Chains A and B, each alone.
Chain A
């Protein structure tokens, strides 16, 4: 009998579904500042970004100071990462949705939200101090990457409804190791949901450096496995982040599906005020990154182009100071809390058990009041 080589016909699922080459990120992070692209950048946009960076830096400093005064329970600072935070907020249209992580308070503030409402979580007066529907901003997510599938579901729902709404979800480098990161990107790509994922690779997940987090060529490369484009951008170059995010958001808006953007940046401060970064990294490394500071980089460009005069500097500094003073003043007042509200938002209608417990607390409060 003649031996015939068995050659199965590959079923359709075996065919490559996507050409991976166009999805691959560029080998070097995209930059605008200090490159030829800078000349083409819109001066108004550059100045808006700059003023917001100055305000953002001041916000971070003020929030950190408030932890020392006991007015904030904790503050995870985005100092050094302001370009990502500000560019994310400015790239969105008002009707779009933002899904921030706990370090992205500045993005919410740059979206125009009241800082004191944004800081509710970290002040400890309520978990989410703002109305998510007012500024189309989801609650700050403390559990890592869990907000990403929410962004996918919301974007998917918006598309089903025929609304011109896209979602931008923010996550850190550590968060990319979570299962929810994987599931969100996979769902987004399969559904072609109008969503953009912004990974701020700030080098550390608390103390653990990126090398212990992933063996991928870059975090942007992870996109290819899902069948979506990955973009790599200098996260300290505000106009570059703004451009890459705007392109990705436009792409989503056109119905061409999701994009993963990795912004390479650095967490200049410790994880939070409660962390000691000297235990896991050298000062010299921090200094290197301080020289690649987002505000300094942008100021260089603006100065060279003669766009930044003393009046503008003064106005930006004064606006930032006024924001900080207002925040300080309002934070120094004790918030008015109603303990009975503890039972108000567990269910649409409290259960009989919760009504009973509310009665118990009310009696305790009344007894306290009488004792005083």
Chain B
């Protein structure tokens, strides 16, 4: 069935059955491959996107539930100043290793800084708990969020 999605500021009409995870529409239909498939059960966070600015796991978000939402993916999150600050911090600190989880890490980090501009280490650990990184880049993720917070503070 045809569905209309508002994604990264543009309107897309996609052909997808109800029950289809948003992840696969983004990746396979819209060919935006920055959003990653890691587990399919909302346990790793690699597929994190924003729904009206809130991080969600797109592998467990169904297409029929997001028709009226503003969806943002990693490809567009840098257009916003928080996203740009996080991406700048990620490069400054060389947070990434294999990088496969990092789109999701960045999307969650932006979500955290949007609601808490100056998170403590404990608040970062609590918020980012669901974003797994098998390369274990965690302490750079923590430092990256703190660096982005400093960048935003100016």
* A and B: bona fide binding partners: no
Q: Which residues of A contact B (CB under 8 A)?
A: none
